Copies of this chain bind each other. A is one copy, B any other.
Amino acid sequence: MREVAIVSAGMTPFGELWQSSLRDLFVQAAREALDAAQVKRVDGIYVGNMSGGQFVGQEHLGPLMADHLGMAGVPAVRVESACASGGVALRTAFLEVASGMSDLVLAVGVEKMNDGADVTNVLATAADQETEVYHGVTFPGLYAMIARAHMKTYGTTEEDLAAVAVKNHRHGKLNPKAQFRLEVTIEQVMNSSLVAAPLRLLHCSPVSDGAAALLLCPLERAMEFTDRPVKIRGSGFATAPFALADRADPAFLEAVNHSATRAYEMAGVGADDIDVAEVHDCFAIAELCVLEAMGFASPGGAGDLTRSGETTLGGQLPVNTSGGLKSKGHPVGATGIAQAAEIFEQLRGEAGERQVKNATIGLTQNMGGSGASSVVHIFERV
Q: What is the CB-to-nearest-CB distance from A113 to chain B, in angstroms, rounded to a whole number? A: 14
Number of A residues, CB within 8 Å of B: 62
Tell me if A88 and B77 are in contact (CB < 8 A): yes
A50 interfacial by beta-carbon distance below 8 Å: yes
Tell me if B64 and A92 are in contact (CB < 8 A): no
Q: How long is the Cα–Cα vector from A240 to B181 in the complex, in angstroms?
A: 40
Tell me if A81 and B73 are in contact (CB < 8 A): no
Tell me if A63 and B129 are in contact (CB < 8 A): no
Tell me if A59 and B125 are in contact (CB < 8 A): yes
Q: What is the CB-to-nearest-CB distance from A108 to chain B, in angstroms, rounded to a whole number? A: 14
Task: Pick out which of these stretches binds chain B: A279-287, A303-311, A365-373.
Answer: A365-373
Contact with B along A165-209 (1 / 0, CB 8 A): 000000000000000000000000000000000000000000000
**Which residues of chain A (64-99) have a CB below 8 Å from chain B?**
64, 66-68, 72-82, 88, 92, 95-96, 98-99
Of B66, B67, B241, B368, the residue contacting A60 (CB under 8 A) is B368
Q: How long is the Cα–Cα vector from A65 to B230 in the complex, in angstroms?
A: 34
A34 interfacial by beta-carbon distance below 8 Å: no
A114 interfacial by beta-carbon distance below 8 Å: no
Most buried by B among A60, A67, A80, A238: A60
A133 interfacial by beta-carbon distance below 8 Å: yes
**Which residues of chain A (232-250) have a CB below 8 Å from chain B?**
237-243, 246
Tell me if A82 and B57 are in contact (CB < 8 A): no
Tell me if B73 and A77 are in contact (CB < 8 A): no
Q: What is the CB-to-nearest-CB distance from A96 to chain B, in angstroms, rounded to a whole number? A: 6
Of B50, B63, B79, the residue contacting A77 (CB under 8 A) is B79
Set of chain B residues within 8 Å of A64, measured between Cβ atoms: 128, 242, 372
Q: How long is the Cα–Cα vector from A75 to B255 in the complex, in angstroms?
A: 9
Q: How long is the Cα–Cα vector from A60 to B81 in the complex, in angstroms?
A: 5
Q: What is the CB-to-nearest-CB distance from A122 to chain B, in angstroms, rounded to a whole number? A: 8
Q: A1-B99, A50-B59 are in contact. Are A77 and B80 (CB under 8 A)?
A: yes
**Which residues of chain A (1-29) have a CB below 8 Å from chain B?**
1, 21, 23
Set of chain B residues within 8 Å of A101, measured between Cβ atoms: 1, 95, 98-99
Q: A63-B81, A64-B372, A242-B67 are in contact. Are A53 and B56 (CB under 8 A)?
A: no
A residues touching B (Cβ–Cβ < 8 Å)?
1, 21, 23, 50-54, 56-64, 66-68, 72-82, 88, 92, 95-96, 98-101, 122, 125-130, 133, 237-243, 246, 254-255, 258, 368-369, 372-373
Q: List 12 other contacts, CB 8 Å, given A57-B125, A67-B242.
A: A53-B54, A57-B129, A60-B126, A62-B80, A63-B369, A67-B240, A75-B237, A77-B81, A79-B79, A92-B92, A98-B99, A99-B99
